[in-house]
Amino acid sequence: MEAGTLGHLFYGFQIALSPINLLYAFLGCLVGTLIGVLPGIGPAGGMALLIPLTYGKEPASAIILLAGIYYGAMYGGSTTSILLNVPGEAASVVTTLDGYQMARKGLAGPALSIAALGSFIAGSIGVVLLMLVGPPLARAALKFGPAEMFALMIFGLSTVTSLSGKSLRKALVSVLLGLMLATVGTDLPTGLIRFTFGIPKLMEGFDVVVVAIGLFAVSEILSCVEEMRQGSYSTAPLGRIWLSLKDFLQSLGAILRGTFTGFFIGVLPGAAHVTASFLSYTLEKRFSKHPDSFGQGEIRGVAAPESANNSAACGALIPLLTLGLPASAVTAVLYGALLMVGVRPSPFLFQKHPDVAWGLIGSMYIGNLMLLILNLPLIGLWVRILKTPARWLFPIVLAVSFVGVYSVNNAPLDLLLATILGVLGYFMRKLDYPLAPVILGLVLGDLLEQALRQTLMISGGSLLPLIQSPMCLVLFAMAGVVMVAPKLIYARGVKLETET
Amino acid sequence: MMVRGEMAGAGLAVVLGAGYLWGALAMPEMSIGDPLGPRAFPLLLGALMTLLGGSLLVWPAQKDSGSMGISLHTGALALLLGLYGYGIPRLGYPAATFLFMVLAPRLLGERSYLLGLLLPAGISTGVFLLFTRILDMPLPLGILEKLLG
């Protein structure tokens, strides 16, 4: 690290450690965690809602407050995923796979702890990477054209093989359903309305929050109610609250791999958080010696995606801070907030507003530590939610989830859609069609189609750019490895599709 | 009626895929400067879904299929949830949530009338105030708006 960078970092710490900014960072983390815990609001929505809190504040203080909300919400999203199988936001969907299974086994405490520790480690390393490789990485990301984006989306979709459950073909049906849902609405390049059946609200397409809450929260509760009536439902045991050293050491590799995967994916535009968490989970499962344990309550299945989505949050800040380009919904909100406090994000942000840029970086170190200190003692409290009688817990979860659904667009139709999708998810569970691939398809579908069409528009209809770009070839090869490697490496017994 | 789950699931995938494909075929071709146009991707998805559904129909993924049945209580909760969603914009969030919180726990086995009324009142008010006052999110007040003037 250059001496100049260290000096700037100390300057950033000076700003971030001022009592008022410490208070804002704490408030941001607290409110962000609350927003993350409540299903449906998500980091971008939460930040947008709370922008008015920044009125009249110093630019550095305003951005420190919003950044605290950002990474607080990114962490908080894991809580309901683990405890209730209700993803707080799309990036937490993959955490439900093993986190909820851990909770059912009485390991909710260790699952929440590893999510907190993984997020802390990933966030801390992510800030260091942001300082060290931010500018060159941002320039490299600019060379990421539609062809490369298409290849990245294919790489992202290849993760469906790790979410396949009992049948790969059923997982493919699920991912196709998600891709189909993604085509509903207005086709932006042509303005053509597709598959809306004359319902004006559907012109905006399906919101991922509505689909995630319907498919996961509603269907989970409907399934549990059925188990209750059959007498096979049991309240999850509280079990142990704290993480053992063995658990931590077992997860450390997954945390570090998730951190680096998440950070580099986070720099890219599009659905970086979601792609990062799905990819890190897949890589962890694919290259594990015991892939069968994933989906059954494997702690690394929580550590990897939680670390990835937090370091992706750091990576996503790079294009904003170094180039002045918002590359995601969250950074677009930050961009707007910066403009409101009189700071125009540009490639000269570090020169023109060092207090904002370095103050933010300094506050991220402190914010990550605050999040850990804030959330570890809360774990015992969160876990006790599981002791709430199911006859009260389920309706409360539904009532809170419906606020999240309603808040997306203030559209009553979304409430109906969430219910219909919940019933669909209930039947999909019964028939062993995995749900996570639907979200994957929905999130990546539009990006995939637009990237392919843009590639062909630029090339005049030729597919050559897809095979001429070295980055495309690398990404296609990685997708191939993710799909085929388990068959080659674990050919001795582990089957990709265990159809009976 | 209980329907064999595997066949029903695969059949639904075929119907969905075919219906979607039909919808894609009905779209106008708009490919000026856009070689693929808005039809190609949906056509591909519809065809793949139909083929995959067909393959599951012919070669089921699992021999021990589940059923497409739904228990009375599960169906009743789904219906109640649908009515709750319908009621939120009309009755307002607090009133609709109160009614939902009275009926849903009752359906799930709550027997105490006192608890069954007090808790819903507290929960609906608490959640409404949390979102509207603390998080500044707009939620419809509905019939209470008229009552409170």
Q: What's the confidence (pLDDT) of residue B76?
A: 94
pLDDT of residue A158: 85
Q: Kindly report the number of other CB atoms within 10 A of residue B69's CB atom.
A: 14
Q: Rounded to whole angstroms, how far apart are CA atoms A424 and A414? A: 15
Model confidence pLDDT, tens digit, residues A394-412 = 999 999 889 888 887 888 8
Of B46, B55, B123, the CB nearest to A399: B123
Q: Do B89 and A500 touch (CB under 8 A)?
A: no
Question: pTM to 2 decimals?
Answer: 0.84
- Average confidence (pLDDT) over A270-276: 77
Closest CA of chain B from A354, distance in Å: 31
Categorize the per-residue pLDDT at B102 as very low, low, confident or very high, splitting at 50, 70 and 90.
Answer: very high
CB contact under 8 A, B66 and A221: no
Q: Over 60: is that where the pLDDT of A492 sits?
A: no
Dump pLDDT digits (tens) for A280-302: 998 888 778 888 888 888 999 99
Q: Identify any residues that bridge with A185 across adjacent strands, giving them in sequence order.
A: A194
Across the range B101-129, mean pLDDT stands at 92
List Cβ neighbours of A271 (8 Å cut-off, separation of 6 or more).
A90, A328, A443, A444, A447
**Which pLDDT value is given to residue A499?**
40
Task: Identify the closest residue of chain A to B63 by CA–CA distance.
Answer: A500
Q: Identify which of A44, A57, A134, A22 has the alpha carbon closest to the alpha carbon of residue A90.
A: A44
Cβ within 8 Å, pair B100-A399: yes
Residues 6+ apart with CB under 8 A from A267: A137, A138, A141, A315, A316, A318, A319, A327
Q: Which residues of A97-115 are buried (b: 16+ CB within 10 A; e: fewer)?
A: bbbbbbbbebbbbbbbbbb
Residue B65 has pLDDT above 70, yes or no: no
A385: pLDDT confidence band, cut at 50, 70 and 90? confident
Cα separation, A64 vs A334, in Å, equals 10
Asked if the Cβ–Cβ distance from B105 to A400 is below 8 Å, we say no
What pLDDT does residue A485 have? 64
A422 contacts on B by Cβ (under 8 Å): 78, 81
Query: Which residues face A186 on adjacent strands?
Result: A193
The reported pLDDT for the residue numbered A491 is 53
Whether A494 has a pLDDT exceeding 50, the answer reads no
Say whether pLDDT at A498 is over 50: no
d(CA A86, CA A38): 10
Structure tokens at A79: 């809580």
Instruction: Say whether A169 and B48 touch across the interface (CB within 8 A).
Output: no
* DSSP code per residue over B79-140: HHHHHHHHHHHHH-HHHHHHHHHHHHHHHTT---HHHHHHHHHHHHHHHHHIIIIIS-----
Structure-token pair, residue A328: 């995601």
| Arithmetic mean of pLDDT, A76-102 | 86
CB contact under 8 A, A222 and B131: no
Whole-angstrom distance, CA of residue A112 vs CA of residue A80: 10
State whether A180 and B81 contact (CB < 8 Å). Answer: no
Best CA proximity match to A364, nearest among A113, A15, A55, A44: A15
Degrees to nearest 5, angle at CA A297 with A295 and A302: 85
Name the residue of chain A whose CA is nearest to B127's CA.
A400
Give the largest CA-CA distance in chain B: 68
Q: Nearest by CB to B52, from A173, A392, A403: name it.
A: A173
Q: How confident is the model at residue B1 (pLDDT cuts 50, 70, 90)?
A: very low
pLDDT at A12: 84
B9 with A390: Cβ contact below 8 A = no
- Record: contact B89-A167, CB cut-off 8 A: no
Residues of chain B positioned with their CB less than 8 A from the CB of A391: 105, 108-110
Contacts of residue A213, defined as CB under 8 A and 6 or more positions apart, other chains included, come to: A39, A40, A86, A87, A401, A404, A405, A418
Which residues of chain B make contact with A225, given a CB cutoff of 8 A? 71, 73-74, 77, 108
Q: How far is A87 from chain B (nearest CA, A)?
A: 19
- Greatest mean pLDDT range, A102-111, A243-252, A416-425: A416-425
Determine, for residues A500 and B135 on separate chains, whether the beta-carbon distance falls below 8 Å. no
Highest mean pLDDT: which range of A17-26, A47-56, A138-147, A330-339: A17-26
**pLDDT above 70 for A40:** no
Name the residue in chain A with its Cα closest to that of B132. A403
Q: pLDDT band at residue A188, thresholds of 50, 70 and 90?
A: confident
Q: Are A12 and A25 in contact (CB under 8 A)?
A: no
**Mean pLDDT, range B68-77, rounded to an integer:** 86
Of A195, A226, A391, the CB nearest to B109: A391
Q: How far A3 CA sits from the closest chain B CA (Å)?
A: 43
Query: Which pLDDT value is given to residue A447?
Result: 87
Confidence at residue A2, expressed as pLDDT on a 0 to 100 scale: 56
Q: Tokens representing A250?
A: 């077992």
**Is residue A268 within 8 Å of residue A327, measured between CB atoms?**
yes
**Sequence-distant (≥ 6) Cβ neighbours of residue A383 within 8 angstroms:** A83, A108, A109, A112, A238, A241
Q: Token pair for residue A371? A: 């999040």
With a cut of 60, say whether residue A119 has pLDDT above it: yes
Beta-carbon count within 10 A of A191 CB:
9
Best of A406, A456, A498, A499 to mutate (most B CBs within 10 Å, chain B): A406
Quote the pLDDT of residue B61.
82
Q: Which of A166, A189, A398 sits opposite B81 (nearest CB)?
A: A398
Q: How far is B145 from chain A (nearest CA, A)?
A: 17
Residue A170 and residue B61: Cβ atoms within 8 Å?
yes
pLDDT given for residue B11 in this prediction: 94
Taking the CA of residue B149 and the nearest CA in chain A, the distance in Å comes to 23
State mean pLDDT over A105-121. 90
In this predicted structure, what is the pLDDT of residue A323?
76
Pairwise CB contact (< 8 Å): B74 & A456: no
Average pLDDT, chain A: 84
Position A314 pLDDT exceeds 50: yes
More confident call, A80 vs B134: A80
CB-based contact A91:A74 (threshold 8 Å): yes
Q: What average pLDDT score do residues A160-174 get?
A: 82
Q: Which residue did the predictor score with more confidence, A449 or B147? A: A449
Mean per-residue pLDDT, A133-138: 74
> In this complex, do A426 and B108 lie within 8 Å of one another by their Cβ atoms?
no
Instruction: Tell me the percentage of chain A whose pLDDT exceeds 90.
Output: 22
Q: CA-CA distance, A125 to A136, in Å (whole number)? A: 17
Q: Which residue, B41, B8, B16, B9, is CA-closest to B27?
A: B41
Do B52 and A418 make contact, defined as CB atoms within 8 angstroms?
A: no
ipTM score of the complex? 0.92
pLDDT tens per residue across span A212-266: 889 988 998 999 898 888 877 777 776 777 888 999 999 999 999 999 999 888 8
DSSP labels, A191-207: --EES-TT-GGGGG---
| Cα atoms in the Cβ-side hemisphere of radius 13 Å centred on A308 | 33
Amino acid A160: pLDDT: 80
Indicate which of A35, A427, A438 best probes the interface with B, i.e. most B CBs within 10 Å of its own CB: A427
Q: How far apart are CA A411 and CA A366, in angstroms?
A: 38
Q: How many CB pairs under 8 A join A and B?
A: 189
Q: Residue B64 has what pLDDT? A: 62
Burial class (CB in 10 A: 0-12, 13-18, 19+), A148: buried
**C-alpha torsion sign, points A52, A53, A57, A62:** negative
pLDDT for position A270? 66
Tell if the CB–CB gap between A452 and B93 is shorter than 8 Å.
no
Q: In the prediction, which pLDDT does B22 show?
A: 95
**pLDDT at position A79 over 70:** yes
A299: helix, strand or coil? coil
Could you say which of A407, A412, A431 has the minimum Cβ distance to residue B89? A412
- Whether the CA torsion A255, A259, A261, A262 is positive or negative: it is positive
What lies within 8 Å, CB to CB, of A51 at 6+ separation is A66, A333, A336, A337, A340
